[in-house]
Structure 1
């Protein structure tokens, strides 16, 4: 019988399930016949993202906070897997308010992880971040080499990795961290002070306003479409423990680090497409894509401003480890993903 590469007929908790990434995970998991629980306090998530899910009898919404251990305990009961997406994102927000970012991203993470351990969850998959690579300049980024953190947000996401490894060693819970690289796609909010660059640029171009690029446009990112992220989360959850350990052992020997076969699973993987796009190139692709529907967009001039504090100049992931151990094979490159994303924004932005 062929091994399934998706989560099916399980009970899954998605924390932050009303958010951009979380709600997309919720919808896909429900389509695959799973029972899905969403824990969200709606600090950044939106109820409208759950419109489809709320019509499904296999969906349960718990309005609560990962900083409240009782909420975590209730949400995780009977779950096979936890896909932990809840966090306060944004480098600038963490610089403005490091205390709340730390409280949510570390305090909430530990509570959710401990509740999962107590409930006997099979595997805890969590959103890590490419910001962990900090000031390390070498490209592409490989999981076992990081630099110094450049923001409080980056620190919180790396501390989460340390806690996950520690909990695996002490309690035996399997943990898998996914270092996301600039995720974009449907439902990503274009509004607010901390909006991500792609939906913000799309919204501005559609309104015939000039997008503002921080810096001279040479900074580059490994932009990653949401469906690639959904694939990675599922593979991280369902890759059999024996296969995981065997592949990890052989992969690790290849980079000069060998593992015992009986290790507890606690690993991190880059989740990206594996290609680099400058911000200037990004705007050019967006203009080309959107001008097919509105020719005036191609003539909009781009504005440039100062670099943003805490930003990494360049980001490019090696996805070799995720490919070899999880079977991760992203289908959406930047152009394909942007076409899908802009089609969604054209239908949903007013």
Structure 2
């Protein structure tokens, strides 16, 4: 799982760690996705690291940014707000920015539920040409419904995604969006969305260019599968992700008994609670679909309370 280790590529670019005062030759500003992260016991705060970056790398050519740990390690996990503030304050110096990963932080650095997020609406407002936004963390995460004409990929990874954020995404005007991933998480960590909150993504009336839909890491994965079995949006999807949750034979049966899925290029169901018989049925029914049934968590858990999503705390 990518959350357990740092990504090596982002926005089809290799990730390159920015090190202040590095005397080695740097790659061209547009050739990599620049990762900015405060090292343990760093003598700089994030604002100082950011200014070093603007000094040493031509910001006008930067295409992708990956933001890692931003907090003072001695003081604890501060809100991401200062990062959002410095990014938006310098937005005009980053005219070529296409992709942003906010809080690319691993389990070893900080549990997902400990990441203190903030309202990310200013980022979309400040970067109208942004095509890809990934956000990790749900605690304190905020979003207002927006119109953004360039965004093609939106990915929110969370152990508990607030319903207000799900509704804001559903209420946004995103005419170019092709790829949407939402990790819904669990109620214990703020994931209070319901199947009703997902309805705008399913009825096909919004997001006209959507080709990939991920509604993953959910405690009600069977209910999502049952809704998708008859959802108009599915007919125009190329890939579907229902992974990381507590999907059981009940949800898989609904998928098989619903509309055809053979047009999909891929169906991701990894981390599931399917019986071997159901896994075989899925494989037989979808021979031309790239089907991910890895991380079988066992089908002998009759008590649903014993089942768990892949990412919570």
Q: TM-score, normalised by structure 1?
A: 0.30
Pick the structure with more helix per residue: 1
Q: TM-score, normalised by structure 2?
A: 0.32
Relative contact order (alpha carbons < 8 A, sep ≥ 6): 1 or 2 greater? Answer: 1
